[in-house]
A and B are shown apart, each in its own frame.
Chain A
């Protein structure tokens, strides 16, 4: 199937004549974007495990969080007929590539190791295409977290908010105490991450029908207007200098005590830990008020590229990725939780243990949803159309009513 593009494309034939290296039979060439210190160390765990099985590792890191640069490189390599053997991927990218027929079938490994029983079904929706396993999930990040500075919370009354109204009163108290209540970075994906939590706090049904099923009544309805009103309320607690700020700088504001809290995925925990803070005593992790019991996730997975079938090296790699020991070691470093529910939580800190328990509970209760902000509810085109509206509203371009109406038309245009 991959060859189809090779033949058809003018670019392919030209680039192919210059491209030489193809990975050896017993090597895996791995394209990923885990380049920061902790992540790179975690990748080392996987590399060592594979070396033990006699499989060599050809590293191909493409820096850039979120993987946009890596995905662009991947397109160029596949169009040139020189796909890497294994690629780190997110959500709908896996489905898109599988629909192109470019991914290897991993059913044999999955059946031998019983993946069906241990991987949450909401994750399987992304790891499987047409009923066949095409990717091995490494981790589960969840986005409906709030990270609160313990000292700022104590000064604001000491009780972690559990409802939207309590959240607003805590934010008000923090404002009265003279700090920036909400640390936020003005980038479209960060506003969308916040929106994940806000939308979910208006009900699981609303989240699913608006952001997953793209039901027009929900996308433009009263609850969507309320979601944008809540985004507007949150905007009033952010300092004026927020636009363009990176998420880790927003985390630093909470760590330094300049700001009260941050609404961000669990990768933010790494920033707190690196600064020497302890969960529980220096900072508090709670689910976005009103979303207790539900989890919005995004999951890094490894998909294997192949023209036909899967090679022994690819199967070995898939098996290593799903190894509970690796899943535990990797996710302790990464801040996420394992993608299988049978991994013991003793290596994890308080927030990690809570994340694992929440994931298992949400999976059992059917309240585990993909994260819109991180490409796990809709394909990239529609996701970015939603980004446009959310970031436009957050920056004052639309009123809440206009934003809800724009949501409907932007999604329709991107379909």
Chain B
């Protein structure tokens, strides 16, 4: 009896969420995939018309801007977050005083939603009320910083706000990794006469490989699905200069009555995420099997 219960209880408990995920995640992925093969406009229609939405999507200027912006945003966001997160973690790991006080300070931005971050940075970067105007009031009249209003540089302000938000979180991940490294290894290396820099470069950072991988996967999917930050910070502007695939998807599906194209862009985003997650899962599962 007990064995029977032990066998079935986990399945019964998991069944509702399994079923909900099956329908609401995988079911709708398939549904979206099908919509991308139709000429759906305002409402879903179901007449199959093949893959013609895909070449049409990649012919759109607007989509090219969005993908270009994602490349700039994604690369800089992941790179800068990782570097800043790693530096902060290493500095905090030097057994400094007040670490318990400093750590949450760096971590707190993560507690805010991207909407709040976006709105706060919008005000801060606005030349009329933010940094530039404060500098002018303080007497630095030649100070000039209007990136958020500049078509070419606006996407970099999105990177700034996102990095500010996420690098503390990356720091926490690296800090956990650092704490997991045996202190004996460092001592051994010190006895061998290795410099601090060399210890980090040759021993510690290579040992943080799993933390790098997790940080990369988390940051990459945050970058691909980034929507609320852009909406709050620039709303895709100036002009259409900061559109990202996620804002493209929403606007084509729900505002422009081009649901077929919107679904197509959603599928492309899904493929991007899969191309990051699947190699990650594969390497994780393989190493589990090996051990």
Contact = CB atoms under 8 A, between A and B. Distances in A.
B43 A75 contact: yes
A240 B240 contact: no
B46 interface: yes
Contact of A9 (B44, B235, B240): B44
Given A381-B41, A388-B62, 12 more contacts: A10-B27, A96-B257, A186-B237, A241-B128, A242-B149, A244-B149, A244-B237, A381-B256, A395-B241, A396-B239, A410-B61, A413-B56
Interface string B32-71: 0000000001111010000000001001111000000000
Contacts of B41: 96, 381
Contact of B235 (A75, A187, A240, A397): A187
B214 interface: no
Nearest to A96: B42
Contacts of B62: 388
B43 A244 contact: no
Nearest to B122: A244
Interface string B223-236: 00000000000110
B36 to A, nearest CB: 15
Given A14-B23, A388-B61, A413-B59, A241 B239 contact: no
8 contacts: A8-B44, A10-B27, A10-B31, A96-B42, A186-B237, A381-B41, A394-B239, A410-B61
Contact of B258 (A5, A75, A243, A414): A414
A79 B44 contact: yes
Interface string A140-178: 000000000000000000000000000000000000000
A161 B257 CA distance: 39
Contacts of A392: 239-240
A395 B251 contact: no
Q: How large is the interface on A (under 10, 10 to 19, 20 to 34, 35 or more residues)?
A: 35 or more
B249 to A, nearest CB: 13
Contact of B146 (A11, A75, A79, A240): A240
Nearest to B126: A241
B109 interface: no
A11 B59 contact: no
A379 interface: yes
Interface in A364-397: 379-381, 384, 388, 391-392, 394-397
B254 interface: yes
Nearest to A75: B43
Contacts of B31: 10-11
B237 A384 contact: no
Nearest to A243: B238
Interface string B124-147: 001110000000000000000010
A372 to B, nearest CB: 15
Contacts of B148: 243
A283 B148 CA distance: 33
Nearest to A68: B255
Contacts of B238: 186, 243-244, 395
Contacts of A395: 151, 237-239, 241
A378 to B, nearest CB: 11
Interface string A46-84: 000000000000000000000010011001001100000
B237 A388 contact: no
B42 A100 contact: yes
Nearest to A380: B257
